[in-house]
Structure 1
Amino acid sequence: MKFKKFHILIWLLLAISVANAQKTEVTISFNEHFFDTLLDAVFRHSGPPEFPLARNEINRRDAEIERRVRNSEFGPTHSFTLKTRNTELETQFRRFGGENPICKETIQLLRESNGVRTSVRFRDGKIYAPLAFAGNYNPPFIGCVPFSGIAETNIELEFDLTNQRLIARANVLKVSLTGTGGVGGNVIARLIQSSIDKRINPIEIIRLDKLSFVVPIQNSSNLKMKAVGIRHEITNGVLSVYVAFEFLKA
């Protein structure tokens, strides 16, 4: 009898929660060690992530080179007329820094470069992520240039309500390059930001529907949790994400 009364009481409490669309918060905490361990596992088990430099930036560069070649802007030694055969134009185009089939214009994320490791760090209430990388760039007149360096990024957290996800976006603050001899630093920085936007962002951190659970109630009904918002704070080197849930009738 006591058990039956207790069951009725629980049902009434849940029913009231549904009627008032009661909300609650779930706290998820991450420290820097968690991300270090995660990155170690990623690089150990899947190898360095690699992706091509942003295609639209390269296309703009190649189009400018082709225009200059066609207009004989490289001087009398390399002058053409528009009647030049396509094969000759292609040879000259590639010679002066157009898309080079033997120069793989890609960026590869590294675990470490020049003593700096790819990591996630919490500083002054913000999330920073230095990204170590290496790659190849094919600037005009120079040819294939290998480079490496560090991209200093700031991480912004976002709540994707439609897909019930906590996501992050990396914004490049500064790029420090080595190996280019000062060639194309600004262009490479733009290429890296464009490539990160297209190939990395957004970064899915957690699928919040996986945190939900179903509570059985009377009359074959269920209660489910739905994430409706997030907030976060960083204290003492720990990122705490507060996820607001509401209980809904399934």
Structure 2
Amino acid sequence: MKKLPVLLLTVLLFGSLARAQTAEVSIRLDEPFFDALLDALFKNPNPPEFPLSQTDAKPSAPSPNALAPDTDKDRSPKTKDQPQSARCNESIRLQREIDGTRTAVRFRDGKIYAPIAFTGSYNPPLIGCVDFAGYAETIIDLDFDAQKQALVGRARVLSVNLSGTGGIGSQLLARMVQSSIDRRINPIQILSLDRVSFVVPIQNSGTLRMKATGIRHEIANGALDVRISYEFQ
């Protein structure tokens, strides 16, 4: 009977030690954090820029008003348009604000909304280089990539609003913007397990390795909570 309390104490100590070998760290990223990050980003005199992809941007049916590139092999090449096309930098340049809409990251109703203000240039056939400006309504979907062992995001363009066009060309541009994002940006690696695993040196005792074993996230109103599970080795 005297051994029973000792046995119970041993079991309790072993259980406490086992629980102590795992832990969870929480990181909160709120909207002011992203506002400050974007403010610092746009202080650079050269705003972020990426090519405007034309892949999968053609209308499904031919139209005289379509802005799709001409791929008809029977037509002779338009040599007069080549110098103008060469001068037209078909790209999108991100801006801090356009028409009162600021590039931002907002957390609402369990979703991540990211309005993106931009300017750019496009060279439709028969028209020549056209400058445009506006903003895109986008959503960022988060997911844990088991193969890459990382929390990744994928941006989806919901709509594009062009300044002073009454919506003309917005659908075509939205497809082109989405194609460019898929080619140049998606998927967005936010946090990988190997980057948040580290070794803690302990004096006279070697080292203690903190291995990240899992990531989960929760979207609250105004913030993103990221929880990282650790295993001590």
Q: TM-score, normalised by structure 1?
A: 0.71
| Aligned residue pairs, count | 213
Structure 1 segment 44-55 matched on structure 2, within 5 A? 44-45=43-44, 47-54=46-53
Give 1:30's aligned residue: 29
The letter for the 2-side match of 1:37 is: A
The letter for the 2-side match of 1:32 is: E
The letter for the 1-side match of 2:104 is: S
Distance 1:91 1:183 in 2: 28
The letter for the 2-side match of 1:34 is: F
The letter for the 1-side match of 2:38 is: L
Give 1:67's aligned residue: 72
1:175 is aligned to 2:163: no
Across the aligned residues of Structure 1 and Structure 2, the Cα RMSD in angstroms comes to 3.5
1:118 is aligned to 2:103: yes
1:201 is aligned to 2:206: no
Q: Do the aligned residues in 1 keep the contact of 2:198 with 2:211 (CA within 8 Å)? A: no
Larger CA deviation: 47-56 vs 148-157 = 47-56
Q: Do the aligned residues in 2 keep the contact of 1:21 with 1:246 (CA within 8 Å)? A: no
- Identical residues among aligned pairs (%): 54
Q: Do the aligned residues in 2 keep the contact of 1:129 with 1:152 (CA within 8 Å)? A: yes
Shift of 1:90: 3.5
Structure 1 segment 142-161 matched on structure 2, within 5 A? 142-161=127-146
- What secondary structure is seen at the aligned counterpart in 2 of 1:100? helix
Shift of 1:29: 0.3
Gaps of 5+ in 1: 1-11, 72-79, 81-88
Distance 2:20 2:142 in 1: 26
Gaps of 5+ in 2: 1-12, 60-67
Shift of 1:237: 1.6
Shift of 1:159: 2.9
Per-residue CA distance 1:53-77 (angstroms, 9 max, x = gap) = 1153579943xx2416x25xxxxxx
- What secondary structure is seen at the aligned counterpart in 2 of 1:152? strand
Give 1:245's aligned residue: 230
Shift of 1:125: 1.3
Shift of 1:112: 0.6
Distance 1:240 1:46 in 2: 32
Give 1:127's aligned residue: 112
Shift of 1:46: 6.1
Shift of 1:244: 2.0
Q: Do the aligned residues in 1 keep the contact of 2:142 with 2:154 (CA within 8 Å)? A: yes
Distance 1:221 1:99 in 2: 66
Distance 1:54 1:236 in 2: 34
Give 1:91's aligned residue: 79
Give 2:126's aligned residue: 141
Per-residue CA distance 1:132-166 (angstroms, 9 max, x = gap) = 01111122222222111111111122334555543
Distance 1:118 1:27 in 2: 26
Q: Do the aligned residues in 1 keep the contact of 2:193 with 2:213 (CA within 8 Å)? A: no
Per-residue CA distance 1:64-118 (angstroms, 9 max, x = gap) = x2416x25xxxxxxxx6xxxxxxxx3426x38xx981122111001111111100
Give 1:3's aligned residue: none
